[in-house]
Amino acid sequence: EVDFEEHEDEESRRKRSKDVGLIAGHYNARPDVGPKQRLQSPIIGLKAFNNWIKAVLIGKFAHRALDESPWAGGRHGRGRGGKVLDLGCGKGGDLTKWAKAHVAEYVGIDIAAVSIDQARSRHAGMHNASRFPAFFAALDCYAHPISDVLPPHILAPPPGRPSERPNDGPEVFDVVSMQFCMHYAFESEEKARTMLDNVSRYLRRGGVFIGTIPNAEWMLKRLLSLPPDAPPRFGNSVYTIEFDDRRPKEERPLFGDRYSFFLTDAVENVPEYVVVWEHFLRLAGEYGLRPVYKREFHQVFQEHKEHPEFGPLMVRMKVMDSNGESHMDEDQWEAANIYIAFAFEKR
Residues in contact with ligand SAM by the rule CB under 6 A: 23-24, 27, 88-90, 93, 110-112, 115, 140-142, 179-181, 184
Which residue minimizes CB distance to ligand SAM?
Answer: 90
Least separation in angstroms between residue 128's CB and ligand SAM is 24
Q: CA-CA distances (angstroms) from residue 14 to 17, 20, 144, 192?
A: 6, 10, 19, 18
Contact 254, 3 (CB under 8 A): yes
Least separation in angstroms between residue 218's CB and ligand SAM is 18
Residue (72 or 266) nearer to ligand SAM, CB:
266
Residue (98 or 180) nearer to ligand SAM, CB:
180
Contact 244, 232 (CB under 8 A): yes
Buried b / exposed e across 296-305, counting CB within 10 Å, b at 16+? Answer: bbeebbeebe
Residue (66 or 116) nearer to ligand SAM, CB:
116
Residue (102 or 191) nearer to ligand SAM, CB:
191
Residue (111 or 254) nearer to ligand SAM, CB:
111
Least separation in angstroms between residue 341's CB and ligand SAM is 12
Residue (55 or 181) nearer to ligand SAM, CB:
181
Least separation in angstroms between residue 217's CB and ligand SAM is 20
Q: Is 256 left (phi over 0), alpha (psi -120 to 50) or beta?
A: left
Least separation in angstroms between residue 266's CB and ligand SAM is 7
Q: CA-CA distances (angstroms) from residue 152 to 157, 162, 169, 205?
A: 10, 14, 11, 20
| Three-class SS of 83-134 | EEEEECCCCCCCHHHHHHCCCCEEEEEECCHHHHHHHHHHHHCCCCCCCCCE
Least separation in angstroms between residue 179's CB and ligand SAM is 3
Least separation in angstroms between residue 3's CB and ligand SAM is 24
In degrees and rounded to multiples of 5, residue 251 shows phi and psi of -95, 0
Residue (72 or 314) nearer to ligand SAM, CB:
314
CA 333/CA 215 separation, integer angstroms? 15
CA-based nearest residue to 274, from 288, 260, 291: 260
Least separation in angstroms between residue 127's CB and ligand SAM is 20
Residue (69 or 177) nearer to ligand SAM, CB:
177
In degrees and rounded to multiples of 5, residue 81 shows phi and psi of 180, -145
CA geometry: angle 176, 180, 183, nearest 5 deg: 90
